[in-house]
Amino acid sequence: MDIGQTPRPVASVGTPVRAEPLPTPDAVRTELPPASTVVAATEAPPARLDVSRTAARLQEAEAAAQDAIKRNLTVDQETRQVVYKAVDTRSGMTVEQIPDESLLKLRAYVRASSQAGESKPSAGTTA
C-alpha cells in the first residue's frame, strides 16, 4: 500500500556525452588535448628519503626532554586527592598537573563549606 511517502526514482533526462576522450590513467598533466597525452617515463629511479639521522636526533632530543622533567605523585592535604605533577627541573615551573590547580581549590572550598554546614546547629533545635 502506497501512501505517497516513498521517494520515487526520477527518470534521467539524458546523460551528457563527453566530446573529448578521457586521458589515460598514467598520463602526465600537460596543455595538450587528451588525445595527445604524454605518459610518464619509467626509467627514473624512485626517490628515497633517508630519515635515520633525523629520527636519531629526535630520539636524543626526546630523551633529553624526559630527563629535564621530574614527575611525582602527591596527596593534596585539603582535598585528599592524588595529584600528578610534572615539573621542569631547569626552571622549576610546573609543566603539567592533574587535576588542575583551580579544580583542587574548588574542591577544597566545597569540602570546607560542607564541613562548616555540618558543624552548625540547626535553627529549630535548642541546646
Q: Which residues pair with 64 in a beta bridge?
A: none
pLDDT digits (tens, 9 = 90+) for 10-27: 656 666 666 666 666 666
Q: Which residues pair with 26 in a beta bridge?
A: none
Residue 115 has φ and ψ, to the nearest 5°, of: -70, -35
| pLDDT, position 84 | 93
- Name the nearest CA neighbour of 86 among 100, 105, 76, 104: 100
Asked whether residue 123 carries a pLDDT value surpassing 70, the answer given is no
Which grid coordinates belong to 69?
A: 622533567
pLDDT digits (tens, 9 = 90+) for 68-110: 888 899 998 888 889 999 998 888 898 899 989 899 899 889 8
Q: Could you tell me which residues come within 8 angstroms of residue 96 by beta carbon, excluding any fewer than 6 positions away?
A: 84, 85, 86
3-state secondary structure 66-123: HHCEEEEEEECCCCCCEEEEEEECCCCCEEEEECCHHHHHHHHHHHHHHHHHHHCCCC
- pTM, 2 dp: 0.42
Domain parsing of the chain, residue ranges? 68-119
pLDDT digits (tens, 9 = 90+) for 35-63: 676 666 677 777 787 788 888 899 888 88
Distance CA 82, CA 75 (A): 4
Residue 123 has φ and ψ, to the nearest 5°, of: -70, -25
